[in-house]
């Protein structure tokens, strides 16, 4: 029994939802998103209650799985076009700096060469100072994926904690060999 899939998704004020031809399109102040629906699930809009209801066609294992997944994705789309999503990254280390050059994020993180990361369409990336990166967008998956790819360029290392980390992330620092 899907507990997530059975919950209806509230349509927020200022958000338009359209279900047609096996796809759902959501439009709001932050942008537009669309998703191709799986054949295992049906999506209906309840205009009276301003809700989106997701139902499954059978009780097969895949249908139950896609039931909850589809509801969660639609909920993320509605929230994303209304408020948007944001990830904040910070650089820690001597000489670690970041900058924006058009649609490219440039990072100097202790390597011999400068790393460049192309910013995908639909994302707003800002560098308020040289050691912070703010990634914003309406698509939760794109925001998280880009932030994870930037972090993977130089993960925080466990001895001094240098690297790119999410803002507020705690890195467990290991004692060095002199601690024994």
Q: What is the pLDDT of residues 94-117, one digit of tens each?
A: 999 999 999 999 999 998 999 999
pLDDT at 3: 83
How far is residue 176's CA from residue 180's CA, in Å, rounded to a whole number?
8
Same CATH topology for 3-82 and 85-169: the answer is: yes
Dihedral in degrees, nearest 10, Cα atoms 71, 77, 79, 80: 150
Q: Where are the domains of the chain?
A: 3-82, 85-169
Report field, pTM of the whole predicted structure over 0.85: yes
Mean pLDDT of 149-171: 94
Element (DSSP H or E) covering residue 28: strand 23-28
| 3-82 CATH fold | Outer Surface Protein A; domain 3 (3.90.930)
Output the average pLDDT for the chain. Answer: 93
The answer to whether 86 touches 134, Cβ cutoff 8 Å, is yes
Q: Is the dihedral of CA 158, 118, 73, 64 positive or negative?
A: negative
85-169 CATH pick, 3.10.20.30, 3.80.10.10, 3.90.930.12, 3.40.50.12780: 3.90.930.12
- Distances in Å between the Cα of 117 and the Cα atoms of 11, 85, 125, 129, 164 are 35, 20, 11, 18, 14
């Amino acid at each position: 029994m899907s507990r997530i899939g059975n919950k209806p998704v509230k349509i927020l004020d200022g958000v338009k939802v359209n279900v047609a031809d096996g796809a759902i399109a959501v439009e709001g102040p932050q942008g537009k998103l669309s998703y191709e629906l799986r054949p295992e699930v049906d999506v209906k809009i309840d205009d009276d209650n301003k809700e989106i209801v997701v139902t499954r066609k059978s009780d097969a294992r895949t249908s139950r799985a896609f039931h909850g997944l589809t509801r969660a994705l639609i909920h993320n789309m509605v929230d994303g076009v209304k408020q948007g999503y944001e990830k904040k990254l910070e650089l820690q280390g001597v000489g670690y700096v970041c900058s924006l050059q058009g649609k490219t994020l440039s990072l100097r993180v202790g390597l011999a060469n400068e790393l460049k990361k192309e910013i995908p369409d639909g994302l707003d990336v800002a560098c308020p100072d040289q050691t912070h990166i703010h990634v914003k967008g309406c698509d939760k998956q794109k925001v998280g994926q880009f932030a994870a790819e930037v972090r993977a360029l130089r993960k925080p290392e466990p001895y001094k904690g240098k690297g790119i980390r999410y803002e507020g992330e705690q890195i467990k620092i290991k004692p060095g060999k002199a601690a024994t």
